[in-house]
Structure 1
Amino acid sequence: MSQDYDAVLIVSFGGPEGPGDVMPFLENVLRGKNVPRERMLEVAEHYQHFGGVSPINEQNRQLIAALEKELAANGPRLPVYWGNRNWDPLLADTLRQMGDDGVKRAIAFFTSAFSSYSGCRQYREDIARAREEVGPTAPEVDKVRVFFNHPAFVEVNAENARRELEAFPAERRDNALLMFTAHSIPMAMAEGCRYERQLQEACRLVAEAAGAPRWELVYQSRSGPPQQPWLEPDVCDRIETLHAAGGLEELVILPIGFISDHMEVLFDLDTEARELCEKLDIAMRRAPTAGIHPKFVRMVCDLIAERVEGLAERPALGELGPSHDVCPVGCCSYTPRRPAAT
């Protein structure tokens, strides 16, 4: 059945817009989390390395501009708003503006392709708190389904991977490794969601479409204390292991767990992983994320149309099928575990 939506809401992580924003932003991100202060200062230095400006904000602006153009041309014809979890424009401020503009019900697109507490449920909790803060004028907000196995998401990532693989000499291409990366999460979080399974399926689909016989999934950007188990292996640790075993000379890294080339991509991959590969004499190429690829932008509009127009078809590749439209009550639950005493 079609739904009476009157706006689109893009929901993202947020990031600092200048050096003075970095520490307040990170304090917002890490409030209530068991992350060592040393790690926060380390990440702050990552941002300062790029002038204290996170690229995620400009990338979201570009995505919104592309979406507005596509929606105006091909529908659904709805205004687009933008709200962040951790920095301006904050969700409460955006929902307040939406209410002032007369928006009653919005369909939200989260900038995460996979199911997890951090990538889905926490955003839903953020929206619920923002609606409570705004009060009765706040619009209702639903979300589109996760899209890890949507044909367009797979196709765009496969195109990006294939382009980088084909940049290697033909005689060395078959031995090149396609290494997918995603944000690591605590094991306790992974156990309560389908994050790992969805990632493995998306990687398999993209590798097959790209014609890459040799591929694997690794993780990056962990931030918890060392005593707390997180998903592994880490991208740099795995590169070193493969190099030591003599099995890595050509490498393409594709950050499939992200949809834009934001700070964690630029620092963890384009800086740290690249410097490691140069040190080990590994020919490394980094494939871009989906970004504002026209097929990806159209996919977002199609996901919106599924809900706004009540379309019965839910395109999805592979064994897992399309994800649910409405999250079950216990979906992606997470109870942080205290690290074991040492």
Structure 2
Amino acid sequence: MPLRRPSAFPRQLRKSTCPGRPTGLSYLGYSGYQRSGLATAVPPVTQDATSSKGPTAMVFLNMGGPSVTDEVQDFLSRLFADGDLIPLGRLQTYLGPLIAKRRTPKIQKQYADIGGGSPIRKWSEYQCEEMCKVLDRISPETAPHKPYVAFRYAAPLTEEMYTKLLDDGFGNGKGGRAVAFTQYPQYSCSTTGSSLNELWKWRNRLEGKRANTDVDPSGTIQWSVIDRWPTHPGLVEAFARNIEVQLKTYPEEKRKGVVLLFSAHSLPMSVVNRGDPYPAEVAATVHASQVGPSAWLGAQTSDTVQEYVNRGQKDIVLVPIAFTSDHIETLYELDHEVIQDANSPGVKRAESLNGNPIFIDALADIAQDHLRKGEKCSLQMTLRCQGCRSERCLEQKKFFAGEEASSLVV
């Protein structure tokens, strides 16, 4: 995805030297390859099915990507129009379309190089469908679980998903439960926050501004949110297994010296300085997933890899730690640019989560726990960034927090 290249900064985040250029992070450390066993497995799930509370709509939220090259310009136009992701100030509506149009040919070529489009829709729909199958089995009291996908910048867009919900019998005076399940494991206002702002906007447009109370006589959809899950045991296990599989492709005597480079998308420093929790939550995932000594913030991914190769450290495993499936960052920026430019057979990438059954079970476990608790969102989500001045963010958080917890959002 343009403008969000996987990157990082030495030891600490630093201000960008180029106005408007987003900065980002990766995490670096030696593998050590000293794990005596596997990462902690997802604990077994139990349920006490006493009554039926279904059906339940499970809505995966993600950025999305163009499925074919003809969709690239529309995708970029929506992306550059989003001030939550790329703050361009008062000229956003003017500059966004211009930047999108100028960058379209270059980005179309990148998507052509990875097969003609992003696989993120295919994987998101597969992951959600498979998770719902597991949920039907382990959480019968909230079954049937119906899978939906809502992308921020590409089809199926949030408004398309919401219209389908209404067509399928949710809302329109009938009520019904829906869970917005972010597929960004680590929370950021520019990703999860932006997706929730969009969902809140279309909820108001299509169902009206009514309170999200437990009992709504007007019959609107009752929403709750799974807003972050950076250290869930199943997520950690899926990442750790993929790292181990790639480490085993190196000769045994070299494995302890392989460098693990955890790559995440970048953020504008204005978002980081506002108090966005993303860097800390990515660090938490890295700390839980690594198979060796502690990692630290590093420089831009491509620069880091090339510098280590130049120094003679040619065995490096790239780990996309903030993504739940393959997309343009993994398939083009890491595979085509970083790895090919390194020109070293020891520079490799750990497999993305995609259809990993451990990951699918983790998603189901997270969802079941959320449904069992009956919470609207995490307590953490009621906290706004200390520098946030957005009234839209304030009202969105109050809505999803529900009547009882909305007073915590200040």
Shorter-chain-normalised TM-score: which range?
0.7 to 0.9
In structure 2, C-alpha distance between the alignment counterparts of 1:309 and 1:8, rounded to whole Å:
14
Secondary structure at the aligned position of 1:99 is classed as helix
**What do the CA deviations read for 1:96-140 (whole angstroms, capped 9, x no partner)?**
221232323311111101011122111110101111221247623
8 Å Cα contact 1:12-1:85 kept in structure 2? yes
**What do the CA deviations read for 1:197-231 (whole angstroms, capped 9, x no partner)?**
11122112211xx3x3475555xxxxxxxxxxxxx
Secondary structure at the aligned position of 1:161 is classed as helix
**What do the CA deviations read for 1:292-318 (whole angstroms, capped 9, x no partner)?**
222211221122112222279xxxxxx
* Equivalent residue for 1:143, pick from 216, 221, 225: 225
8 Å Cα contact 2:309-2:342 kept in structure 1? no
**What do the CA deviations read for 1:24-63 (whole angstroms, capped 9, x no partner)?**
1211111254474555543333123235411111111221
* 2:309 alignment counterpart: 243
* Equivalent residue for 2:193, pick from 118, 121, 134: 121
**What do the CA deviations read for 1:305-338 (whole angstroms, capped 9, x no partner)?**
12222279xxxxxxxxxx93562152487679xx
Secondary structure at the aligned position of 2:353 is classed as coil
In structure 2, C-alpha distance between the alignment counterparts of 1:311 and 1:31, rounded to whole Å:
35
Deviates more, 1:253-262 or 1:71-80: 71-80
Residue type matched to 1:45 in 2?
A: K
Q: Of the two structures, which has the highest relative contact order with CA contacts closer than 8 Å and spacing of 6 or more?
A: 2
Deviates more, 1:107-116 or 1:97-106: 97-106
Q: CA deviation at 1:3?
A: 11
CA gap 1:334/1:120 in 2 versus in 1, 3 angstroms: farther
Q: Give the total of aligned pairs.
A: 305
2:279 paired with 1:196? yes
* 2:155 alignment counterpart: 88
Which structure 2 segments of 5+ residues have no match? 1-50, 89-95, 171-175, 209-218, 391-410
Superposed counterparts of 1:169-188, under 5 Å: 169-188=251-270
Superposed counterparts of 1:1-342, under 5 Å: 6-31=56-81, 33=86, 34=88, 36=99, 38-75=102-139, 76-77=142-143, 78-103=145-170, 104-136=176-208, 139-191=221-273, 192-207=275-290, 210=291, 212-213=292-293, 215-216=295-296, 233-244=299-310, 246-278=311-343, 281=344, 283-310=346-373, 324-325=378-379, 327-328=381-382, 330-331=384-385
Residue type matched to 1:239 in 2?
A: V
What is the TM-score when the length of structure 1 is the normalising length? 0.80
Q: CA deviation at 1:175?
A: 1.1
CA gap 1:105/1:68 in 2 versus in 1, 3 angstroms: closer
In structure 2, C-alpha distance between the alignment counterparts of 1:146 and 1:86, rounded to whole Å:
20
Secondary structure at the aligned position of 2:130 is classed as helix
**What do the CA deviations read for 1:255-279 (whole angstroms, capped 9, x no partner)?**
011111112110011110111221x
In structure 1, C-alpha distance between the alignment counterparts of 2:329 and 2:115, rounded to whole Å:
15
Residue type matched to 1:186 in 2?
A: P
Q: CA deviation at 1:12?
A: 1.8
Secondary structure at the aligned position of 1:106 is classed as strand
In structure 2, C-alpha distance between the alignment counterparts of 1:267 and 1:94, rounded to whole Å:
28
Residue type matched to 1:327 in 2?
A: M
CA gap 1:50/1:166 in 2 versus in 1, 3 angstroms: closer
CA gap 1:4/1:110 in 2 versus in 1, 3 angstroms: same
In structure 1, C-alpha distance between the alignment counterparts of 2:327 and 2:386, rounded to whole Å:
24
- Percent of paired sites with the same residue: 24
Secondary structure at the aligned position of 1:257 is classed as coil
In structure 1, C-alpha distance between the alignment counterparts of 2:389 and 2:251, rounded to whole Å:
48
In structure 1, C-alpha distance between the alignment counterparts of 2:312 and 2:134, rounded to whole Å:
45
8 Å Cα contact 1:153-1:296 kept in structure 2? yes
Residue type matched to 1:276 in 2?
A: D
In structure 1, C-alpha distance between the alignment counterparts of 2:61 and 2:76, rounded to whole Å:
18
**What do the CA deviations read for 1:124-172 (whole angstroms, capped 9, x no partner)?**
1010111122124762322114111111111111111111112111111
CA gap 1:18/1:332 in 2 versus in 1, 3 angstroms: farther
Larger Rg: 2
What is the TM-score when the length of structure 2 is the normalising length? 0.68
RMSD over aligned CA atoms reads: 2.7
